[in-house]
Amino acid sequence: MNAEATPTAERGSGSGSERGSTSRPATDAEPDAPLDEPPSIDAGPPIAGYVVADVTPNFGRDIGHIKDIAVHPDVQGRGIGRQLLRAALARLRFRGASVVKLEVREGNDRARSLYGDQGFAPLRRVSRYYADGEDAIVMVLDLEDWTPP
């Protein structure tokens, strides 16, 4: 599989499997792509994964927030989540974020390991954060210490 990080553009009002991708890659070399075009990995229909993130101004130390990152179960374990995370971090840094936070399910060891590999550290636990009652771990990364691969 030759997966490439690309911003998606919705074509019609269908589900994620009916979305197409533009031809402009969302790579570390192009961190100025707008955050309103979240990067996704296109491995052919349907969309293999996506990430949603934003930047909030905070008195000179803007905060990036990775709100959602997901990879279709059929293509997990192929490095797609890692590509999405790195593309999002590069864009967040370009947009002025100096620190990035995210929430992850306490029991999602695979995701916690991925985030740890990129330099995220656990900050605190939020009890019963998810609708099913599972706790969240808030993790943070200082982008000044992050080096893209």
Write out the two tokens for 33. 């792509």
Tens of each residue's pLDDT in the chain, 149 residues:
444 444 433 323 333 333 333 334 444 445 555 556 666 666 666 788 999 999 999 888 899 999 999 999 999 999 999 999 999 999 999 999 999 999 999 999 999 999 999 999 999 999 999 999 999 999 999 999 888 77
Q: Is 50 a catalytic residue?
A: no
CATH topology of domain 4-142: Aminopeptidase (3.40.630)
Q: What tokens appear for 66 in the block?
A: 């990775």
The residue ranges of DSSP E strands in the chain, in sequence order, are 4-9, 20-21, 39-42, 49-56, 63-71, 99-105, 121-126, 136-142
Q: Is 105 helix (H, G, I), strand (E, B) or coil?
A: strand
Catalytic residue among 37, 103, 106, 129: 103
Is 103 marked active-site?
Answer: yes
Domain layout of the chain by residue ranges: 4-142
Give the C-alpha separation, 2 to 129, whole Å. 36
